[in-house]
Amino acid sequence: MRQKKETQPNYRSAATGYSFGDLYEIYQSYIDYDLPQIYSLILEQEVTGDRETLIKKYQSDISTYELDLQNMQEKIDDLNILIQSYSDKNKEGTEYHFGTDSGDGTSSDYILKDVQEDISEEFRISSETTYDALIDEYVDLETEKEKLQVDLEHKQKLLAVFTSDVESEEKSNTQAIEESLETLSQNLDEMYQILSDTVDEYNQYVGAYNVSTLASITTEEKINVRMYIVLAVIIFFFGGCIGAIILGRSKEFLDYIMYTDKKTGLPNRAMCDIEIERYAAEKLKDSFVFVLVKIDNLKYVNDKGGREAGDSLLKAFGKILKRAASSYGFAGYNGSDQFIGMFEDCTAQRASDFKQYLEELVRYHNVQNPSVTIQVSVAVSETNSEQIYDMRKLMAATFRKASANFNQKPEDKAKKAENETKSEQ
């Protein structure tokens, strides 16, 4: 329809009085205004089918955000130790620095060698970095921490609203929303009929204009069949959407919007929280595995190629993880550079097999797509091996394992992945 609006700006149906531009703007207004308005009413008027479940979900969200904030603060504390180490080494003399002078005796790319972050005696890691890189990473962590804090306070406010003693008018609100959906459905039905009449008249117009008589028995056809196939697909798509609304499938439509991440095609963070809460409600069984996967070079790719490159990386890895976890259990996108998995009846050996299979799929992707390489870190915890049967404690143990790789720079990992891809080629 957008194409017809641009290529046929002057066409207007004599039967309906509409042009393709008019129809496009009307359908666009449904997408931009009517659907978001109904969705905002659902949120604003606190309409829910199960209040108790919603409250539990918010409580789960709050617990998850608090855990994320705790992990984020640990990262910031560790980074502060590195920055302090940099300052201490700097005071000892210039022999700890090397770089390229700018001409006036100063250097903009001094690198401090042999800075150590003493996480613990067991995980003492040497790294080489620049002061600017440390400060940039500190700012990024603080920014992400502030966002998490805002999200946490928002969830706490929503929880306070739904746990208050104010009398709910949910039934009347639900009825009003259902009436709005019914009105939108009727409007879409009417516009579909108008669109069909307009297209039919346009087809007759194009047929009369493009078919010219060359001889008494010879004609030349100039109708773009591909265009009409695309137009038919668009019409059937809108017809399917209207049918879904009429048949009462609005709930499934909203579930898809709310619980599926569009970039990765995996369950989004809200769905991850629901699964975490389900397992946190009772003691975990034997052979239960929690998996944490991080894309180490996502920030590097975003900085180097822009957000579109980062989204492409997330989309590619979403397909890889979905394939790897298909026979194991739940796998979802937890936001930022994190993905999580929860597998029942999964021994430590099977978890190790999953990790190896995932890494092999990533390596194969890097060989086939050397311009869009992926570098991941995988941490796995199993109830029997860890002797932990509480969901949140098992998650915390997995995050601690993942933090062991915290000081290796994403840029270094990305370059390492590129070198491995070139060597395999």
**Domain match, 277 and 366 both:** yes
pLDDT at 386: 92
- Residue 417 sits in the same domain as residue 277: yes
Share the mean pLDDT of the chain.
79
Q: Are residues 237 and 276 in the same domain?
A: no
Residue 119 above 50 pLDDT? no
Among the listed ranges 98-112, 165-179, 347-361, which one has the minimum average pLDDT value? Answer: 98-112
Lowest mean pLDDT among 172-181, 278-287, 340-349: 172-181
Residue 98 lies in a domain: no
Do both 18 and 143 map to the same domain? no
178 in a structural domain: yes
Same domain, residue pair 248 and 174: yes
Question: Tens digits of per-residue pLDDT, 5-58?
Answer: 788 888 888 888 888 888 888 888 888 878 887 767 766 666 666 778 878 888
Choose one of 219, 237, 259: the last residue of a domain. 259
Residues 303 and 358 in one domain: yes
Lowest mean pLDDT among 101-110, 195-204, 229-238, 241-250: 101-110
Same domain, residue pair 247 and 309: no
- Top pLDDT among 319 and 201 is at 319
Q: Point out the domain boundary residue: 201, 228, 259.
A: 259
pLDDT class for 110, splitting at 50, 70, 90? very low
Asked if residue 102 is part of any domain, the answer here is: no
Q: Are residues 353 and 240 in the same domain?
A: no
pLDDT value of position 289: 96
User: What's the confidence (pLDDT) of residue 270?
Assistant: 92
Cα–Cα distance, 285 to 279 (Å, whole number): 10
Per-residue confidence (pLDDT) for residue 248, from 0 to 100: 59
Same domain, yes or no, for 286 and 419? yes
Q: At residue 189, what is the residue type?
A: D
Q: Residues 398, 358: one domain?
A: yes
Q: State yes or no: pLDDT of 380 exceeds 80.
A: yes
Domain count within the chain = 3
Are 10 and 148 in the same domain?
A: no
- Are 283 and 399 members of one domain? yes
Contact call for residues 316 and 369 (beta carbons, < 8 A): yes
Which domain covers residue 359, as residue numbers?
Answer: 269-424
